A and B are shown apart, each in its own frame.
Chain A
Amino acid sequence: MTLTLVGLSHRGTPVAVRERAFVPLPQAAELAAALAEQGEAVCLSTCNRTELYVVGEDADRRALAVLESISGLAGDELRAVVYRLADEAAALHLFRVAAGLDSLVPGEGEILGQVRSAFDAGATGPVLDRLFRQALHAGKKVRAETAIAESPASVSSAAAALARQVFGRLDECRVLLVGAGHVAELAARSLAARGASIAFVANRSPQRAADLASAFGGEGTGLDRVPAVLGEVDVVVSSTGAPGWVLRHDEVEAALDGRKGRPLFLIDLAVPRDLDPAIHELGACYLYDIDDLESVVAAGLAGRRREAARAEGIVAGEAERFREWHASRDVVPEIASLRTGASCAVPSTYGLISRPCPCVTSLRPVSRPALVMRETPWFRAHPIQMLFSFLREIVRDTLIPHVSLFGLKFSVRNGISTSKLHPVLVRCTRSFQMPSHCRF
């Protein structure tokens, strides 16, 4: 059965359509269950994409109909933004998605969790189970073997990354926010999410400072107390609208005496700047302004794009592994057929095989055909392994639709080149030569 992907994403679909097509996780589970009536289905829905992975009869049409109903787009309108992929192309796409290579910010980490959630909520069978497990593996492998996820991709993550270069873990870092506006709040949330504690919020309006401080369990204070609390914090984030310096070089220098050499990390997000640039010249002080952070982000994104090229190689390798596995599944009916045929043939050779024979490992009298099968290792394993490798070779480079061998018809999806088939057939038929007294 064919693996089909039907979806839409931030590449070519406006946000107004994407938000309509977004499916929350509980509904995604129901949707997958409904789609998987005669097969398997997973619905992956994030703010950037909604994708339906379906295995089964008429999967493409059914998935498209579902996408049409949830996005509210009519036929042609939907076809203009939707993409449809099958088999290996669909697998490669999912591997790229899981690795973060199809994200707005290459290598972003959230998508891997979203793929896992979609997988958990999906109605999976052998194909989609294998596909999603391998996609999660590919995503982890890319993040482990490349630096794609290491560079900061936003100003707040750049500030946190720089702070980590000074302090290591931020768990024990105490933060002073100077200014209580939206920017300060965002920075505070970013640092708090990474383990830092917001100890003080200083603002021109003490009430606003107290309000924001209480949200983070800190203490609100006036701007005049900023130099006094410098000795008690490790990180200072400033974002006021003040026209002059909020913190001068000499004030910080005086505060350093009480810090016993512990570094002080300062982020100035304000324009015009709040913090005297000369502070950076002090021994244990590291001051970065908004330009520094933005250039770090730009360098980080460039680094992510460089690493993305390496990640594509890893993902392509995983896609090839999936393709081989998927191709080998085509052989399963033929293997079953071979087993059945062999089982039927065994009774006719039953009398012959009880005589001494080099391919029979035991000379004990055999009483049942099943025992004949079990007692003959060549019979049990060799032809089946040969068939697998044989059909893998055929599927790799193919022109004709099917091959008949030993009275069994082997379906090959894309055909086979006869010139390439010949040596393979010769080798394969030779290996199927059985001793005359064991032939069936």
Chain B
Amino acid sequence: MAEYLFGFAFLAYAGAAIAYAVDARRPGPAGRAATWGVRLGWLLQTALLVEEAARADGFPWSTWAGSLNLFVWLVVSVYLVWGCRTRYRLLGLAVMPVAAGLLVLARLGGGIGEGGTSGYSNTFLIVHVGLLSFAFAAFTLAAALSGLYLWQERRLKSRRPAALLGRAPSLLTLETLTSRTIAVALPALTAGIVAGLVRLRDQGASVDALMAVTFGTWAVYGSYLVLRYEAGWHGRRAAYLALVGFAFVVVARLGLQVGHFS
């Protein structure tokens, strides 16, 4: 059952990515098909996660691949909040190929099968993994928004007439959405880190490399908010800083998976 749900969810995400690409070249029905593809894929993946939760004996996404599966679902969930609007279809072009790719990666890593066993309590894992995954998903969306901002800004600076016409969100909208997304995600990251630190202190363990990268992520996004709202950082500088933060997310998410929860 899980294999079928995975397969259809992947097909829906991949189909949506292709439809977004078609829509970018020629706006029209492909854009609507893409939106429905995302919705359908999200429903199928939700069913997959529910099926995994029902099957697992404990927290089902405690493995690296399992949490990647959850992460993809969260990314698509956050995207669906505003991604169905016509002007944000270009954002879908950035998000959906990544979602489809990461879903395959989760499948190859065994994240679709049996949940791993963990020495940690379910409550801790739900709080820690859940909050960090949510924060990382939101940061991924913020990075996509920042990328779109830089692309849109470049178009406006290029003055090429064809580039000046098109369906893309305005610079101010993209900037505002990026900062709001980060403002929502940073408290979740903070709470997730605090939960991890409490467990760390109880066990008397030391900080590992993944934790160090997560602290780095927190520092970058914290700086972003301070500079954005206190020092008036706007435009390209703010977008680049959001992308730097996302580089930390990528490292934390993909680079350091070695049995952190097992």
CB contact list, B164-200 vs A, under 8 A: 164-165, 167-173
Interchain CB contact under 8 A, A167 and B165:
no
Query: In the complex, what residues of A have CB within 8 A of residue B173's CB?
Result: 168
Question: B58 to chain A: closest CB distance in Å?
Answer: 47
B124 at the interface (CB under 8 A from A): no
Closest B residue, CB atoms, query A283: B235
Complex interface: stretch among A222-230, A291-299, A376-384: A291-299
CB contact list, B142-164 vs A, under 8 A: 152, 156-157, 159, 161-162, 164
B29 at the interface (CB under 8 A from A): yes
Please measure, in the bound complex, the distance between the C-alpha atom of A292 and the C-alpha atom of B237, giving whole angstroms.
27
| A263: contacting residue among B167, B169, B171, B233, CB under 8 A | B171
Query: In the complex, what residues of B have CB within 8 A of residue A162's CB?
Result: 156, 164
Complex interface: stretch among A38-46, A145-153, A188-196: A145-153
Interchain CB contact under 8 A, B165 and A151:
yes
Interchain CB contact under 8 A, A286 and B167:
no
Closest A residue, CB atoms, query B173: A168
Number of A-B residue pairs having CB atoms within 8 Å of each other in the complex: 69
Q: A161-B165, A166-B170, A299-B161 are in contact. Are A284 and B235 (CB under 8 A)?
A: yes
Please measure, in the bound complex, the distance between the C-alpha atom of A162 and the C-alpha atom of B163, giving whole angstroms.
11
Interchain CB contact under 8 A, B159 and A263:
no
Query: In the complex, what residues of B have CB within 8 A of residue A288's CB?
Result: 159
Please measure, in the bound complex, the distance between the C-alpha atom of A145 and the C-alpha atom of B23, giving whole angstroms.
12
Contact string against A for B residues 28-56, beta-carbon threshold 8 Å, 1 for contact and 0 otherwise: 11000000000000000000000000000
Closest B residue, CB atoms, query A265: B156
Interchain CB contact under 8 A, B236 and A283:
yes
A261 at the interface (CB under 8 A from B): yes
Q: A284-B234, A295-B161, A303-B165 are in contact. Are A166 and B171 (CB under 8 A)?
A: yes
Contact string against B for A residues 270-301, beta-carbon threshold 8 Å, 1 for contact and 0 otherwise: 00000000001001101010001001101110
B222 at the interface (CB under 8 A from A): no
Interchain CB contact under 8 A, B28 and A165:
no
Question: B85 to chain A: closest CB distance in Å?
Answer: 12
B232 at the interface (CB under 8 A from A): yes
Interchain CB contact under 8 A, B157 and A286:
yes
A164 at the interface (CB under 8 A from B): yes
Query: In the complex, what residues of B have CB within 8 A of residue A260's CB?
Result: 232, 234
Interchain CB contact under 8 A, A296 and B234:
no
CB contact list, B213-256 vs A, under 8 A: 232-238
A-B contacts, 30 listed (Cβ < 8 Å): A145-B28, A146-B28, A147-B28, A150-B165, A161-B164, A161-B165, A162-B164, A165-B164, A165-B171, A166-B170, A166-B171, A166-B172, A167-B171, A168-B169, A260-B232, A260-B234, A261-B233, A263-B171, A263-B234, A263-B235, A280-B157, A284-B235, A286-B156, A288-B159, A292-B159, A292-B161, A296-B165, A299-B161, A303-B165, A310-B28
Residues of A bordering B, CB below 8 Å: 145-147, 150-152, 161-162, 164-168, 260-263, 280, 283-284, 286, 288, 292, 295-296, 298-300, 303, 310
Residues of B bordering A, CB below 8 Å: 27-29, 152, 156-157, 159, 161-162, 164-165, 167-173, 232-238
